[in-house]
Amino acid sequence: MNFIREGIRRFFYQSLINYKGLFAWVDVKSYIFMKVFAPILKIVFFSILSSYAFKTTDISTWIIGNSFLLCTSNAIYGVGNDLILERRFGTLRFIVASPYNKFLIFLGRSIFHVIDSFITVIIGLTVGYLFFELTIPLENLAVFMGVLSVSLYSAMSIGITISSLGLCLREVHMFLNVSEMSLVVLTGASFPISRLPLFLQKVSYFTPMSRGIEAARLLVDSYDGAHLFGLILGEFLIGSLFMIIGYLLFLYVEKLSRKYATLDLY
Amino acid sequence: MDMKANLRVFISSIFLQMRQSFGRSMFRFCMIVYPILYGFTLYMIYMDSSNEKIINYVMFGTAVASLWGTISFSSAGDIDRERFMGALEIIFNSPTNFFLIMFGKVVGNTILGTLSMLISIFFVSIAFSIPIIIVDLSKFILVFIIGLSSFIGIAMMLSGLLAVSRSTRIFMNILDYPMMILSGVAFPISLLPSSLIPISYSLAPTHFLLLIRMCISGIDNLHSFYIHLGYLIGLTTIYGILSYFLYKIIDIKAREKATLGVI
């Protein structure tokens, strides 16, 4: 029993250390600017834009979509940048060489980012509630939080894939920024997915967060439970699929780097 | 240093900056990829709107947002990069005026920023078959040149602020959305609360966009055009003067505190 407790403690401790080490904020002021003010301004911008472009005062759909996407700062620039930063700091070789289970390392890395992005998304939704008449029925609130948690898990999974892919690329910043913008385009957060060209609609179908955003939107109005469950399950499966792809990709890069001794090379 | 030598330094600074900037993947993202992805997103949002709205808010909204990204954001970040690489003190201590070197850097980014603007305009036009029609071309060119000068002024002010205060880096990262909200990049500023309109009018990009939109659709009210043009020229002059004095302050502070290169 003690062994399990110790394992869990180490898992969370390592997750926290990783979060602090690689996604550290210099001070409280920086955190407030980047994680409170920036999301507020982003939601205000997209809310006014949606209201004007779609000629409607009911912009709950777009507030939810854009609030969910606020997690990209953690998913892309936090988890997605993770291994790239380890390599830059010269610590990647220790991770590879350590006997610790690599999958747990991966999983642990996203825990605090999920918590952190949860707070950011809530800030976005609160702005929507306070200034743009966003209401989530109280009876649906618990399910809504569940949907949000699954969506954030899914977002972090794409971060893990990006992180592993980043090890193979030199142009990391370009890659991270394109990934963030691609999520904006493909998740239907800011416009209906039906507006995308057919090919991109199919890509959107396999993009993490698309289903989560759709499920959260359903909860604002009346909804069909089976459809909602299908969306949540789909989101979870896509998230897990990306998590596995990211992990396998890391194992492949690790194998290559052991063979050619290129782990730390850009 | 004589005028000819200063000019040589200025031109060298422009070309060096252009090479350095283009070498960075983040800059290439801001210059090439961002206009395409942002233009695509805005078009998807405005898809059902009139051609006039698409030209005003998608085509030129994206163009100005891209210009902002490449000129102001990158130029302001340059001083931080020079500091990080340990080159800031060397530039500062060179016999050439620090202001002149930084001015060259900003102008270098402006040239690339203008290309970024053109990329966004042509992307929206070609990808979505939106014709580029500018009713008053001569006034458009005049407004465009003055507008670019105002962006250079903003970039110089931001780079100056960053030289004296490291907190500016955080501030700079969240500056995008306030600028886009207040200057009406993607929607008219009339949608903003009335209390924010005066702030909006105190920004040169607001007048730049209003003037550009007037030139595109044809100037109905010449009086209004000249008022906004006056504002744009006035604000550009103020930005220029403020930048100049800011660099004077940097010169004193850097010598007093000796923290120019401290990260």
pLDDT category, A138, cuts 50, 70, 90? confident
Nearest 5°: the CA angle A142, A143, A149 is 95
Structure tokens that stand for A105 in this block? 């390392």
Whole-angstrom distance, CA of residue A46 vs CA of residue B30? 20
Q: Which residues of A touch B180 (CB under 8 A)?
A: 45
Q: Alpha-carbon Rg of chain A, whole angstroms? A: 19
Whole-angstrom distance, CA of residue A118 vs CA of residue A77? 15
Burial environment of residue A151 by CB neighbours within 10 A (0 to 12, 13 to 18, 19 or more): buried
Q: How many residues are there in chain B? A: 263
Q: Are B21 and B112 in contact (CB under 8 A)?
A: yes
- Amino acid identity of residue A160, one-letter, is I
Q: Is A200 helix (H, G, I), strand (E, B) or coil?
A: helix
Give the chain B residue whose CA is nearest to the CA of A53.
B46
Tally Cβ neighbours within 10 Å of residue B213. Answer: 17
Whole-angstrom distance, CA of residue A140 vs CA of residue B160? 50
Q: Which residue has the tokens 């909804």?
A: A223
- Are residues B25 and A171, on separate chains, in Cβ contact within 8 Å? yes
State whether residue A201 sits within 8 Å of chain B by CB: no
State whether residue A30 sits within 8 Å of chain B by CB: yes
The per-residue pLDDT for A52 is 94
Whole-angstrom distance, CA of residue A41 vs CA of residue B208? 22
Q: Which of residues 137-196 of A touch B (CB under 8 A)?
A: 170-175, 177-178, 181-182, 184-185, 190-191, 195-196
Question: What stretches in chain B show pLDDT beneath 70?
Answer: 1, 72-73, 76, 165-170, 261-263
Whole-angstrom distance, CA of residue B117 vs CA of residue B122? 9
Q: Is the pLDDT of residue A263 over 70?
A: no
**What is the phi/psi pair of residue A91, to 5°?**
-105, -5
State whether residue B68 sits within 8 Å of chain A by CB: no
Give the chain B residue whose CA is nearest to the CA of A131.
B193
pLDDT category, A62, cuts 50, 70, 90? very high
Q: How many CB pairs under 8 A join A and B?
A: 86
Q: Is B138 helix (H, G, I), strand (E, B) or coil?
A: helix
Whole-angstrom distance, CA of residue B59 vs CA of residue B71? 18
Structure tokens that stand for B55 in this block? 């030209």
Q: Which residues of B touch A189 (CB under 8 A)?
A: none
**What is the phi/psi pair of residue A24, to 5°?**
-70, 140
pLDDT category, A75, cuts 50, 70, 90? confident
The ipTM of this complex is 0.88
DSSP code at position B71:
I
Q: Is the pLDDT of residue A11 over 70?
A: yes
Q: Is the pLDDT of residue A46 over 90?
A: yes
pLDDT digits (tens, 9 = 90+) for A204-245: 988 999 999 999 999 887 777 888 999 999 999 999 999 899
The per-residue pLDDT for B98 is 85
pLDDT digits (tens, 9 = 90+) for A88-131: 788 888 887 888 777 777 777 788 888 889 999 999 999 999 99
Angstroms from A129 CA to nearest CA on chain B = 18
Whole-angstrom distance, CA of residue A120 vs CA of residue A131? 17
